[in-house]
Amino acid sequence: MNTTPTPRTLEAWLELLEARHPKAIDLGLERCRVVWQRMGSPRPAARIFVVAGTNGKGSTVATLCGLLDGLGYRYGCYMTPHLHRYNERVQLLGQAVSDDLLLAAFEQVEAARQGTSLTYFEFGTLAAFQILAAAELDYAVLEIGLGGRLDAVNLVDADVAVITPIGLDHQEYLGNDLDSIGREKAGIIRPGRPVICGEENPPRSILEAAAQQGAPLRRLGVDFRAREAGAGVRYDSNGLQLQLPRPVLFGPHQVDNLATALSAVLECIPSAARDLSALHRGLRSVRLPGRFERIDQAGARGPAVWVDVGHNPLAARAVAAALAQLAAAGTVRRVRCVLGMLADKDAGASVSELGGVISHWYCTSLPGERGQSGECLVQRIGEAAEPSRLSVFDSVERALDAALADSSPGDGVLVFGSFLTAAAARRHYRARRPG
């Protein structure tokens, strides 16, 4: 019999959930499905978008939500991980939910658990389902945490499956090649339901899964596309042409994310194409901290500072393209990088992707079981960066201070490598600012 007292605060609940299950990641739907069914199988909304992929998931979720907001629907979303507060993971109408809503949902999951062991992510996912279902939403946008096929989010059937670009990440769980990883991501596809793919040439396993399921597949660059045009973006799809504002989120890759999200919305709501003012309003409302986010104050003397949660080579390539675009426009000269990456990430390949736009690396330690010291990070980089361009620090805060001190107006500082790195840098930079 479980005699553990029920936690009274969100922080106490999260500490309990982190310690309770023997594995932090324990893929499989059996345990979670049993508890979900005991809860009455709550469905987060009348219609559901599920977003899987390696990179661009968060941006695509945020853009989907912005479009739904502009169109006037009741919507909610579930995203992981969070940047600063756990509440960020579950949002209703663009606002993070309260502690009280989370506590009530946690207690409902706990009552249905009846001794079944759940991971931190699984428990939180079921709580999110409960909160979203109780809100009686028109649409829910759900981000897969890891993979797709065996992820707890995949308990619910997607009305539209969205698969963003696929790259090498989490190979210990998903496989060592793109086809294997794509097969796991394709697990969110449902028979006859549309699939929106955010790349022109996805792994063959995704194409095969869609064909086997009889799921209509639409691909970026084949069935729809977007490109910068003047001060905005032109979206084209099967004869439909829309002139839209540029994404609020910066970088060439965000134009692709915009196109992917809009295509998913138009699958569910074809009439949205006729409400151009609502689409404009929705796209201008998109906000997502930590995605090539510029955090220095406009007009302030000193270097530009960008923070990005990217943590793999595909993300590094996208950020490198964004920095190259700024350099070509004369917006920035030298860029220094505060780099903090978890030990299970491919630091060498990420540094190789960014190497052409970074003048110096400020390698920092990260805490926790998956963290590593700055010295270990330097070793993992290997030959991807010259030793003379590497410095080591024991914290993100000290690394950022050093990078800023070494920079001049017209230079830039990029913070990259992990949600942990981005969160620490955002907190510290805000604390440094006068007033």
Strands (E), 207-345: 217-219, 225-229, 232-237, 240-245, 293-294, 304-307, 335-339
Q: Which DSSP category does 4 fall into?
A: P
Find the angle CA(172)-CA(175)-CA(178) to the nearest 5 degrees: 135
Q: Tokens in use for 364?
A: 């920092």
What is the distance between the alpha carbons of residues 27 and 347, in angstroms, rounded to a whole number? 25
pLDDT of residue 170: 67
**Virtual torsion, Cα 58, 63, 66, 68, nearest 10 deg:** -100
pLDDT of residue 369: 86
Tens-digit pLDDT profile for residues 195-233: 999 999 999 999 999 999 999 999 999 999 999 998 999
What is the distance between the alpha carbons of residues 106 and 90, in angstroms, rounded to a whole number? 13
What percent of the chain is modeled with pLDDT above 70?
97
Tens-digit pLDDT profile for residues 224-259: 999 999 899 999 999 999 999 999 999 999 999 999
This prediction's pTM: 0.94
Tens-digit pLDDT profile for residues 119-131: 999 999 999 999 9
* DSSP per position, 364-421: E---STT---HHHHHHHHGGGS-GGGEEEESSHHHHHHHHHHT--TT-EEEEES-HHH
Nearest to 316 by CA among 285, 342, 348: 348
Q: Tokens in use for 24?
A: 């932090």
What is the distance between the alpha carbons of residues 126 and 111, in angstroms, rounded to a whole number? 12
What is the distance between the alpha carbons of residues 127 and 58, in angstroms, rounded to a whole number? 20
Q: Which residue is associated with the tokens 């084949």?
A: 222
Tens-digit pLDDT profile for residues 374-430: 999 999 998 899 999 999 999 999 999 999 999 999 999 999 999 999 999 999 999
